[in-house]
Amino acid sequence: MYRKSQPAVLLLLLIVIAFTNVTAQQKSIAQKVDSVLKLMTLEEKIGQMNQYNDDHTATGPVTLDNKKQEQIKNGQVGSLLNTVGTERTRSWQQIAMQSRLKIPLLFGQDVIHGYKTTFPIPLAEACSWDLNAIQQTARVAATEASASGIHWTFAPMVDIARDPRWGRVMEGAGEDTYLGSKIAYARVKGFQGNKLGDINAVMACVKHFAAYGAAIGGRDYNSVDMSDRMLWETYLPPFKSALDAGTATFMNSFNDLNGVPATGNKYLQRDILKGKWGFKGFVVSDWGSVGEMINHGNVKNEYEAALSAVTAGSDMDMESRCYKNSLAQLVKDKKIPVALIDDAVKRILQKKFEMGLFDDPYKFCNAAREQAALNDPEHVKVAKEAAAKSIVLLKNQNNLLPLSKNTKTIAFIGPLVKAVKQNKGFWDVEVPGVDSNFIVSQWEGLQNKVGSNTSLLYAKGCDIEGNNKNGFAEAVEVAKQADVVILSIGERRDMSGEAKSRSNITIPGVQEELLKELLATGKPVVVLINAGRPLVFNYTADNAPAILYTWWLGSEAGNAIADVLFGDYNPSAKLAMTFPRSVGQIPIYYNHFNTGRPATNDANRNYNSSYNDESIFPKYEFGYGLSYTSFQYSNLQMSKKKLKANEQIEVAVTITNTGKYDGEEIVQLYLRDKVGSIVRPMKELKDFQKINLKAGEARTIKFIINKEKLSFFNQQLQWVAEPGDFELMVGASSKDIRLKDNFELIK
């Protein structure tokens, strides 16, 4: 109905392409986009805004649709998700090349923590606080994914999360806005490399815009109700940081924010993202979220859903089909101007041009390159390093760890010892032709590590879930024969992730009971906890002599764990999220307000802000993590004690490695604004440095305090630094503050 006659269009297109080639150097992409747009019918434009799932795998509720090929040929589809591998992407692209205008498809995929080579889950990796390492894993993921036909990853997830019941905490960088913003930046840089269009760059998609991490009660897809000030101060900065890093795209979110679904939220998408922040890329909806606005009760039908989403600034509809079914009618009914459609399409085409897909739609479909990239041994090294850096040493009584390489007999017990795929965690990609055997299990890792003088014994002991204790006796027997026991317990990998909220976050089944039996043997027991979220494990925390929180570490899990167990890597990670003692404490996070009746200790809970039946303290605080060595903090110096808004203070502190091992320390700088027109948190992370010190080595490091670090959003949502007193704290965790001083911001 909207078509121009075929030969005329083809001729015109040839002219455009020829012209494009000749003048490629001079013509800006924007001009090229305009010339393509001019050729497009309304239906073809709407097609660009339509994204389907390839039927191969699904990451959401599937809508059966066997007409995809035909629709692609008709120019009715702009992008596919969940299509992986050069062969498969090539075959879909060939179909798109049969369409009238031959506009290439974009292939999107959740490459969240690796493609073939799997890295630690993002929350684990965040605990490394190692921005270079984080950027590097994203870089490798992009290198593999782009070689395997992928143009676009739906990552990073930058949602701040304070509720470990929410299964998706595994996918983000934890609870802190400052750390989260830095990591968001690093991940976008890693995915996109030097520039879009490079052969190994994929477009990043920063998600979920916005505030999805604050779903009430930690229940996935739930509503979010928060003040604007909280939104701006705590939840939006990582998105802004990702934007500053140059992210190509954003994804909106499933939740409503203060009653308006994010997908149809004009304030978020048009006013903030595309308005105030000037974002030039495009916004994709989350899976089905355009249509889900009907369930939210915010629109009546698909027609209204499409109207709401497109008006609000959602450019591409993932899987709901509302755009496909209703946008043309909306234009016809004059509910939306074509200009609105044009704006969305231009944004999408712009990215397709930037990726170089108009020059060569099969640019990322080179099977030889795919093979080389997926088998690059360098990637495995990156995975091992990232995994080791993500392991958090929670407890190490009497320096039980590291284990001696001369240990005669080690009993390795637990349901996760020989697990293979579990180590991948949630959001792994099923890469065609690749099975999971390349993942190093914890058992293999230990086998690789120990010499012929050490004998390794194994017992499963129990399952991850269920009440069956039949394996306990064997486990105890095995433990009795050993000099040291290592017990590997935790969640199943799919217990944390999308749609994996849990009301009970203890270690499942009888695993802690197994630990009790093993401890009763009197043997030293090292516990490995594998999980996608902070779990509650008070019995283990209080009774096991040594605990490593190993999260899900990816392809090299086994080798990395073995490195840490035997001291070939000295653990350096620090928690990016507070670990509660009980579910009742949630939400619990370090940067809370003091309240009018602050509770300061557990002895006195009367008439203050606390629970009568629970400690006021978490089990492990934000920023906590041990090392095999120890660090002393000394000599805090400030270049001045009073600063004006246009000045800065240089802070120096000396860190000394006072232990026997070389090691890395994450030195954390916190500030407290003592009096504010808006109450300020007890402390806020404002900087950190990860430093490597040889045993006995001392180094003085410097931080800068400037206006930016003293500012917050006031009641009028202005970003201000208010004159007054500040407390400076430098420490090894949010609780373990080693040095303090005060300074004043003066007018």
Residues labelled as active-site residues: 286
Residue given tokens 């990860």 in the structure block:
690
Q: Does 213 contact ligand NOJ by CB under 6 A?
A: no
Instruction: Tokens for 471, please give them.
Output: 């394996």
- Residue 735: Cβ-neighbour burial (10 angstroms; 0-12, 13-18, 19+): middle
Nearest CA-CA partner of 232 in 196, 277, 281, 201: 277
Say if residues 257 and 232 touch (Cβ distance below 8 Å). no
Taking the complex as a whole, the smallest distance from the CB of residue 165 to ligand NOJ amounts, in Å, to 17
Q: Does 110 contact ligand NOJ by CB under 6 A?
A: yes
Taking the complex as a whole, the smallest distance from the CB of residue 498 to ligand NOJ amounts, in Å, to 5
- Residue 468 CA to residue 511 CA, distance in Å, equals 10
Q: Which of 129, 152, 178, 287 binds ligand NOJ (CB under 6 A)?
A: 287
Q: Does 315 contact ligand NOJ by CB under 6 A?
A: no
Taking the complex as a whole, the smallest distance from the CB of residue 155 to ligand NOJ amounts, in Å, to 8
Residues facing 207 on adjacent strands? 157
Q: Does 57 contact ligand NOJ by CB under 6 A?
A: no
- Residue 286 CA to residue 46 CA, distance in Å, equals 17
CB atoms within 10 A of CB 435: 10
Instruction: Tokens for 595, please give them.
Output: 């309240």
Residue 228 or 494: the one with the smaller Cβ distance to ligand NOJ is: 494
Q: What are phi and psi of 553, to 5 degrees?
A: -105, -5
Residue 111 or 526: the one with the smaller Cβ distance to ligand NOJ is: 111
Residue 81 or 529: the one with the smaller Cβ distance to ligand NOJ is: 81
Q: Helix (H, G, I), strand (E, B), or coil: what is residue 689?
A: strand
Taking the complex as a whole, the smallest distance from the CB of residue 420 to ligand NOJ amounts, in Å, to 24
Q: Does 154 contact ligand NOJ by CB under 6 A?
A: yes
Residue 167 or 681: the one with the smaller Cβ distance to ligand NOJ is: 167
Instruction: Tokens for 601, please give them.
Output: 């200790």
Instruction: Tokens for 334, please give them.
Output: 């004059």
How many of the chain's residues bind ligand NOJ (CB under 6 A)?
Answer: 9
Q: Does 286 contact ligand NOJ by CB under 6 A?
A: yes
Q: Does 60 contact ligand NOJ by CB under 6 A?
A: yes
Tell me how far CA of residue 103 lies from CA of 347, 360, 364, 436, in angstroms.
14, 11, 15, 35
Taking the complex as a whole, the smallest distance from the CB of residue 735 to ligand NOJ amounts, in Å, to 33
Q: Does 59 contact ligand NOJ by CB under 6 A?
A: yes
Taking the complex as a whole, the smallest distance from the CB of residue 58 to ligand NOJ amounts, in Å, to 8
Q: Helix (H, G, I), strand (E, B), or coil: what is residue 209?
A: strand
Q: Does 220 contact ligand NOJ by CB under 6 A?
A: no
Residue 249 or 559: the one with the smaller Cβ distance to ligand NOJ is: 249
- Beta strands at 260-261 and 317-318: parallel, antiparallel or unpaired: unpaired
Residues 74-103 that bind ligand NOJ (CB under 6 A): 81
Residues facing 549 on adjacent strands? 392, 529
Q: Which of 45, 189, 207, 581 binds ligand NOJ (CB under 6 A)?
A: 207
Residues facing 410 on adjacent strands? 456, 484
Residue 151 or 207: the one with the smaller Cβ distance to ligand NOJ is: 207
Q: Helix (H, G, I), strand (E, B), or coil: what is residue 328?
A: helix
Q: Does 498 contact ligand NOJ by CB under 6 A?
A: yes
Window 555-594: contact mask with ligand NOJ (x via CB under 6 A): ----------------------------------------
Residue 108 or 623: the one with the smaller Cβ distance to ligand NOJ is: 108
Q: Helix (H, G, I), strand (E, B), or coil: what is residue 656?
A: strand
Q: Helix (H, G, I), strand (E, B), or coil: what is residue 733?
A: coil
Kindly list the residues in this chain that would bind ligand NOJ in the complex (CB under 6 A): 59-60, 81, 110, 154, 207, 286-287, 498
